Amino acid sequence: MRLLVFGATGQVAQELRRRVPEALFLSRAEADLSDPAACAAAVERHPADVVINAAAWTAVDKAEEAAAEAGLVNGAAPGAMARAAAARGIPFLHVSTDYVFDGSGTRPWVPEDPTGPLGAYGQSKLDGEEAVRAAGGRFAILRTSWVFSAHGANFVKTMLRLGKTRDSLNVVADQVGGPTAAGDIAAALLTMARTFHAGGGEAGTYHFAGAPDVSWADFAREIFRQAGLAVMVNDIPTEAYPTPARRPANSRLDCTSTHAVFGIGRPDWRHSLTGVLKELGEI
C-alpha cells in the first residue's frame, strides 16, 4: 500500500513516519497548505493508494486573528486534496477535531450531532470537513481530541516543564475530554487506510479519543504521578484562565462507530502516556 501523507513535522505525521517510513511525507516546502491548488497538484503528481492529511493549522488562539489563513489551511486545502483524490479514485483520510462542537452538555458527541464551533479554529476545521464530504470520493474524517506525544508543543510537555519549577499549578477542571496519543491516532489511521485499500470500510465521519474521559486538571495529576513530580494541582474554572479562543467544555467523543466499522477501540491514554514519558526520558 502506497501512502501519500500531507505533513512531516506535526505530532501525528511524525508518528506515521515511525510506523511507515516508506510512505511519502510532504512538508510545507513540498506542499504549502496555504496554496490549495498546490496541494491538489501534489495528489495528482505522486503515485498513491491512499492519501492521509495529517497537516493542519493547530494554533487555536492565533486563528482568532488569522481566520482567513486558518481557513485556507484547514478548510480550502483539505477540500482541494479530497477532490484530487476523488478524481483519481483514491481514498482520502482527514484528521479533524472536537472543536467543531460547541461543548455543551455532558453526553459524548456522536458523529451525527449538530456542530457549532466556538471560534475561528473550529470553524476552519468544520469548513474542511464539509469540503471533504462534498468532494465525492471515498473518505473518512477522523475527529480526535487533546493530542499529545513526545513531539512538538502539547499539554504533557507543558506540564512537565512547569512541574519542574513549581510545586503548585492551577489547571482548568471544568473542561472534560479524552486525551489521545498521536501514536494511537497514527495507528488508527493506518488501520483505516488498510481497510479502505482492501476494499472495506465505509465513507463517513468517525470519532477517536483516548479513554477514560478526564478534566485537564486530572490529566495533569496523572502526568505528575507518572513522572514522579510532587506538584499540587488546584482545580480552577475556565473563567479563571481566559484565552483568546473559547474552548469547548465538553469534548467527550463517542467512538462506537469507529469500532463497529474498523474494529478500532479507544486506547487507554494512561498507558500511552507512560510510553511518551519514557521516550522523553522522564521515567
Q: What sign results for the dihedral spanned by CA atoms 172, 177, 179, 180? A: negative
At which residue does the C-alpha cell 505530532 appear? 11
Is residue 19 left, alpha or beta, with left meaning phi > 0 and alpha meaning psi from -120 to 50?
alpha
CA distance 78 to 76: 6
The string of DSSP letters for 99-125 reads GGS---SSSPBPTTSPP--SSHHHHHH
Has 99 been annotated as catalytic? no
Q: Which of 99, 121, 206, 241 is catalytic?
A: 121
CA distance 4 to 27: 11
CA distance 44 to 85: 8
Instruction: Reduce the DSSP state of residue 163 to 3 states and report it.
Output: helix
Which of the residues are catalytic?
121
